[in-house]
Amino acid sequence: MSKKMLGDIMREAQKLQEEMKRIQQETKEKTVEASSGGGMVTVVVNGGGEIVSIKIEKDVVNPEDVEMLQDLIVAAANEGIRRSQEMANESMSKLTMGMQIPGLGGLGNILK
């Protein structure tokens, strides 16, 4: 392989890395929302997989049934995280044009 070819490959790799960083930052700034219990618990998660906010309707707060509220929070949070990972993977697939590249399993893993 010639030095010119190697240099071209290195420049392309650097461009790809810069584009990945840009996409990662854009994805971190986006959010997804998920709810459970018919909207009684709503969770907002950013593209980095972090919970940004949780909204709980007053009607679901029952001191006699704390377990139900806990279950609703867990369900909404898990769905929000799943949607966040899906959003991150979609962003990455735009960069890789849908190709599965080893080590680039999705932005969810890269952003941690």
Q: Kindly write down the DSSP assignment for every residue of 10-37, as one continuous string.
A: HHHHHHHHHHHHHHHHHHHH-EEEEEET
Residues 69 and 60 sit within 8 Å (Cβ to Cβ): yes
pLDDT digit string, tens, across residues 52-98: 999 999 999 999 999 999 999 999 999 999 999 999 888 888 777 65
Residue 50: closest CA among 31, 74, 67, 63: 31
pLDDT digit string, tens, across residues 26-52: 999 999 999 999 999 999 999 999 999
pLDDT digit string, tens, across residues 49-62: 999 999 999 999 99
Q: What is the CATH number of domain 3-110?
A: 3.30.1310.10
Distance CA 26, CA 82 (A): 18
pLDDT greater at residue 87 or residue 103:
87
Q: What is residue 100's predicted lDDT score, i.e. its pLDDT?
A: 55
Distance CA 19, CA 33 (A): 26
Q: Looking at the whole model, is its pTM more than 0.95?
A: no
Gyration radius (Cα) of the chain, Å: 20
Cβ atoms within 10 A of the Cβ of 56, count? 16
Q: What is residue 71's predicted lDDT score, i.e. its pLDDT?
A: 97
